[in-house]
Amino acid sequence: MLLSGWRLKALIASMVGAAASYLLVALVSGWHDVIHAVVRVGAPGIAAMLLMSSLNYLLRFARWQSYLRAMAHKLPWRAHLRIYLSGFALTTTPGKAGEALRSVFLKRYGVEYHDSLAALLSERLSDLVAVLLIALAGLSLYPRFRVVVILCLAAIVFGLIVLARGIGLSWLEQQGDRLGPRLGRTSTHLATLLRRAQRCHGARLVVASAVLGVLAWGAEALAFAWVTHWLGIDVSARYAVFVYAVSMLAGAVSVLPGGLGGAEATMVALLLIQKAPFSDAVAATLLIRISTLWFAVGLGLVALLAQQRQGGGA
């Protein structure tokens, strides 16, 4: 079974750690107030958030399929969706590295490890670009930060051009013979991975991926804006979307499992800056994280167990 060993321990540790942290924060902020805030959102609100999260996953799956098609792989969509979702079971590993589990399942369909890992690398880069674009749109609200916005956009375009054109790859490939057996193999594998990733970064595919990424992460950010509105937190929808995007970036930069801790702390802090009540800021944060991150982990576990019953975990 693939859900065993370090993977199972990492999943259990992240769940226990998150539950303990969420409980502690709720107690500190006044758990009666937090529960009251959750009740105010109600089942219809929670259902709406889960719907937006589901839209996020489907849009990202469409983008993932486009990456594999660019590398000449076409899989039955039902099996492919199950494999894609199964990676979410290990979203809470550091840097989401556990999502590389998909590569094991995809190998049975003739997808080489270099190809599936190149798709994963491209997905991570596209997510970063999408969340940055959403955050920069909010940052543009403040005139003093517009130079930062322009510089960040320029850096994104430059990085994508470097990857698409394979700048520096020939040099990296040449280092294989000079670095010794171990480092040489690492250099060669990295160069091969980046060569495959080039196929995912043609001009049209980059634009399409960016659009899908912005729509996907924008859906969850919009759900967070709804939560702040339902709780009566006095912030604009645009600011709430900005808060969500920046929090996701903070979680990614922290390299903690699933961004745990970093994303939540940033979200609460940015709401408190706007004079939101502490209990409401905590409730909004817990609700959106449970309906996005932990909903994904739950779906991933269901998909992973289904995949293993199909014989994909042997």
Q: Would you state the pLDDT for residue 58?
A: 97
Is 93 in a helix, a strand, or coil? coil
Q: Phi and psi of 94, rounded to 5°? A: -55, 125
Q: Would you state the pLDDT for residue 24?
A: 66
| C-beta contacts of 80-87 below 8 A and 24+ residues apart | 82/303, 82/306, 82/307, 82/310, 83/303, 83/307, 83/312, 84/303, 85/57, 85/61, 85/299, 85/300, 85/302, 85/303, 86/300, 86/303, 86/304, 86/306, 86/307, 87/300
Q: Would you state the pLDDT for residue 169?
A: 67
Q: Would you state the pLDDT for residue 314?
A: 41
Which of 77, 105, 88 shows the shortest CA–CA distance to 54?
A: 88
Domains of the chain, residue spans:
5-309
Q: Would you state the pLDDT for residue 16?
A: 64
In the chain, which stretches have pLDDT less than 50? 1, 313-314
Q: What is the DSSP letter of 141?
A: T
Q: Would you state the pLDDT for residue 97?
A: 59
Q: Would you state the pLDDT for residue 181?
A: 61
The rounded Cα 55 to chain-centroid distance in angstroms is 14
